[in-house]
Each structure stands twice: as C-alpha cells, then as structure tokens.
Amino acid sequence: MKFDILTLFPGMFSGPFDESIIKRAQEKQLIDISLHNIRSWATDRHQTADDSPYGGGAGMVMKPEPLAACIETVKGDNPHSRVVLTSPQGRRLTHGVAEELSNLSGLILVCGRYEGIDERIRILYADDDISLGDFVLSGGEIAAMAIVDAITRLIPGALGSEESARSDSFSDGLLEYPQYTRPADFNGHTVPEALLSGNHELIRKWRRKESLRKTLSLRPDLLNQITLTGEDHKLLKEIQREVSIGDE
C-alpha cells in the first residue's frame, strides 16, 4: 500500500517510521511511505505556507496555493489514492475505518497545522476527513502516524501472524482479553488455571468470557454495537452473577 504524507514538518516521522512493525513492513515492501514537504510547493523565497485568516482571529491558516499544488502533484503520480485530511472535524478513526482504508491502493494524508487549512482545499480535493477523537492536537502529523500504524497492522504479512491482528481489541467489536506470560506466579498473582490447562476449548471460552467481562466493565457501549451469540449472552449472565456475589 502506498502512503503519501503531506506535512510542514517531515522530520517528525523519522522516529516512528524507522522502528518496529512499520519499518519491517517497508523492508518487506508491503507498504511504501513518501513524505512531502508542503513548503516545497510555495512560490515565494520564504516558502510561505500560512497566512492570517479573513475576518480576523488568533492564529494562522494554511494557504491554499502551495497545498493545492502539492496535492495535485502527488495525486498525479497516484491517481487512485484517496485524499484524507487529518482533522478534528472528521469521522472517528476506528478499527472498522482502518479495515476499510486497508483495502485501498493508496492514501494521501494531509496534515493540518495552526488553525487549520483553507476550507477550499477540503471542497476541491478532500475525499475524507479523519479524526483520532474529540480533542485537539498541535497538528495532523501524530494523527497521520496513527492512521498509518493502524492500517499497516492489518496488511497480511506485516505482523508476521495474522492471528495477532484478528485477536486485537476491537477486531470483533470487543476489548481484548487479559494476556499473561511467564512466570506463572508473579508477586503472589498467578496465571488463571484455564490458560495452563492445555485444553483449547476451555482456553477459548475463558478468553471470550474475559473479553466480555472487560468490555462490560470498561466500554459497555460496545456491547450494543455488535451481534452477541447465544454463548455470549450466557457468559454475560455468569459475569453478572459473579459481580452480584462479589458485591454481597
């Protein structure tokens, strides 16, 4: 998959993209990441990319001319790529959105800065707006990193184990079950017996129950967004009985 990132601060990406899963995915040629400095498309000698907003107000706004020229150049080289603005006004980045985007051949991620970008860029070029959540960052670079990371994990071969991606939190609409490794006893806290049993069905059922338990405790809203099986309803009843007994 091809990622083109349009930014005023390309140096911000050198650390996150040179380590771990994203680095390996690039080495395997599963993804291709290109950084484009928007200032390179500015026509004045100061490479001006921002200006004060019409109507007054604090802060600066990214100018349309250099950004439009940058988008047109990159889009010309990658005509099938989707142009995405990183913006708090966008739809929330979820696992489902990441899965949707992972099926594309390419993304052009436009990183906003200052008070945002000139609205005409959104009107003329944007195919989508994506937000990390209901908060404001200093710029879209961190959001772009998160988008690339979330998508890369879903590309076959990127993790080395597709089972890992399938069992992550949100992959089936629930939070992930608790994980344990050696030693079996750490400061008096022992690994649940089911995980030590070697019984695959018992382990599967324990993990499903604990996934439901964690979701019920931390994100009960998610339970209304998925289709629960008969087994799930039975496990939820067991969890609720256990909670009731614990409260007595």
Check if 79 is active-site: no
Report the distance separating Cα 166 and Cα 187, nearest Å.
31
Check if 115 is active-site: yes
Residue 162: what residue type?
Answer: E
Specify the pLDDT at position 233. 97
Nearest to 126 by CA among 82, 90, 163: 82
Specify the pLDDT at position 170. 65
Nearest to 210 by CA among 248, 172, 236, 246: 236
Q: Which two tokens stand for residue 90?
A: 């966008």
Nearest to 99 by CA among 47, 152, 53: 152
Specify the pLDDT at position 245. 84
Out of 153, 207, 210, 213, pick the active-site residue.
Answer: 153
Domains in the chain, ordered, with CATH?
2-152 (3.40.1280.10), 185-247 (1.10.1270.20)
Out of 51, 65, 99, 115, pick the active-site residue.
Answer: 115
Bridge-partner residues for 106, per DSSP?
A: 2
Specify the pLDDT at position 114. 87
Q: What is the mean pLDDT of each run of 10 residues along the chain (248 residues)?
A: 98 95 97 98 95 92 97 97 94 96 97 93 97 93 98 93 58 89 94 96 96 95 94 97 84
Out of 88, 99, 128, 129, pick the active-site residue.
Answer: 88
Check if 168 is active-site: yes
Specify the pLDDT at position 71. 98
Specify the pLDDT at position 131. 96
